[in-house]
Structure 1
Amino acid sequence: MAPTAPTPSDAPTGGSGSVHPAHLTRPPLGLRERKKLRTRMAIRRATYQLIGEQGYEATTVEQIAEAAEVSPSTVFRYFPAKEDIVISDELDPALEAALRARPADEDPLDSVRQVITQGLTAALRADRAAVVQRTRLMVEVPAIRARMTETMTTTSRLLTNALADRAGRPRHDLEVQVFTAAVLGALREVTLYWAGRDHQDDLIELVDRALRMLRDGIRL
């Protein structure tokens, strides 16, 4: 979904896509999950460092594996494609849980806005440089941008399920699916707009502006 930043060792981490919230409340991770998370984070840190030094295209999975002190097969086990290292994260379940935890009588768009803006605020506070680097790559590398669009399907399904359950509607309800698609589409465009303008604007204000446009009706 949205830009996210690497987080401390046992916290849920993002790298979204799409505009994705970070630092959402989740149950404590077990030892195995923490080890997996540390490996994923090591791979991401190595990737960002190498890309910063030599560019995206020149950075190979073999180089990433060596820098992260893992095997290339381990990199591919965690990230099926190189683009996934930049855009994937573990936050979709946390996003769904946070959305379900919002007051039942709250307007769905307000619930989404609260979850997204809280997560983005935390991500920017934790590591703005990583968020900037990630979103810059989304603009500069067509393969990353295309992969970002593909991976939004998972986020869309989880959000659709949460919103449908809250509203007492079937999960295949057309209106719910259109609502979710509109929100995620708006967040994608906000991400690209923010990065395309060299991250000069206030990202939270841009998100609010885009979601207000959905709430008030799209008029030019």
Structure 2
Amino acid sequence: MASGLRERKKRRTRAEIRAAARRIAAADGWEAATIERIAREAEVSPSTVVRHFPVREDIVLTDEDDEHLEALLRARPAGEEPLESLRAVLAAAVGTALEADPAELRLRCRLMAEVPAVRARLTETTAETGRRLARALADRTGRDPDDLEVRVFTAAVLGGLREAVLYWAEHGRADDLLALLHRTVDALKAGPALPARP
């Protein structure tokens, strides 16, 4: 019971820190979202912010859904093509984020596109997500998680999603992000179409 209460308190504190950082970044830019200012806005100590988010950029990137993504992937139909399984899982995650708080997602994506430190950290966190999903894919396909093909395949799909998100942010977030995700997966499946010959 006590551990459940502690976990809820931890999640609430993390959510308050995230909300504070995003308010500051939306109003004054990411550079203004210092640890000290985030702490004041969230009404916690700077050490609390650092304890929950040792890397400042994780405040806008981390949403703690890697475990959920892995579970969704493991729950996909056994005979489904791996690319279609990842398409379904990533589309569900993007759809949930769009439905939950579209303004927050737009801000996160804008910071990914505009702030080099956030983009660099995105690459690192995408690699971490990829390792989890590679384990699930390896189990589903009877391969080793460190199998080169599994690693390359998973990294390619997640790299494609990252590029779709950055494209969306760089083009004013006007397109349908889910449609861009499906275009991305289709491009990975078929490659870019050659121009028609005259």
* Residues 138/99 of structure 1: CA separation in 2 closer, same or farther (3 Å cut): same
Name which structure has the greater RCO, CA cutoff 8 Å, separation 6+.
1
Q: Does 1:158 align with 2:171?
A: no
Deviation at 1:31, TM superposition (A): 2.2
Unaligned residue ranges in structure 1 (runs of 5+): 1-28
Deviation at 1:218, TM superposition (A): 4.5
Q: Which residue pairs with 2:43 in the alignment?
A: 69
* Structure with bigger gyration radius: 2
Deviation at 1:121, TM superposition (A): 1.1
Q: Which residue pairs with 1:125 in the alignment?
A: 99
Alignment of 1:26-105 (within 5 A): 30-105=4-79
Q: Which structure features the higher share of helix residues?
A: 2
Q: Which residue pairs with 1:205 in the alignment?
A: 179
1:75-114 alpha-carbon deviations (Å, 9 max, x no partner): 0111112211111121101100110000111111111111
1:147-171 alpha-carbon deviations (Å, 9 max, x no partner): 1111222101101100000000111
CA–CA distance in 2 between the matches of 1:32 and 1:113? Answer: 35
CA–CA distance in 2 between the matches of 1:122 and 1:91? Answer: 11
SS at match of 2:31: coil
Unaligned residue ranges in structure 2 (runs of 5+): none
Aligned with 1:108 (options 82, 89, 99): 82
Deviation at 1:53, TM superposition (A): 2.0
Query: Could you tell me the TM-score, scaled by structure 1's length?
Result: 0.84
Question: How many residues were matched structurally?
Answer: 192
Q: Which residue pairs with 2:115 in the alignment?
A: 141
Query: Could you tell me the TM-score, scaled by structure 2's length?
Result: 0.93
Amino acid at match of 1:57: E
Amino acid at match of 1:202: D
SS at match of 1:82: coil
Aligned with 1:192 (options 153, 166, 183): 166
SS at match of 1:30: helix
RMSD of Structure 2 on Structure 1 (CA): 1.3
Contact kept in structure 1, 2:24 and 2:33, CA below 8 Å: yes
Deviation at 1:219, TM superposition (A): 4.5
CA–CA distance in 2 between the matches of 1:55 and 1:171? Answer: 39
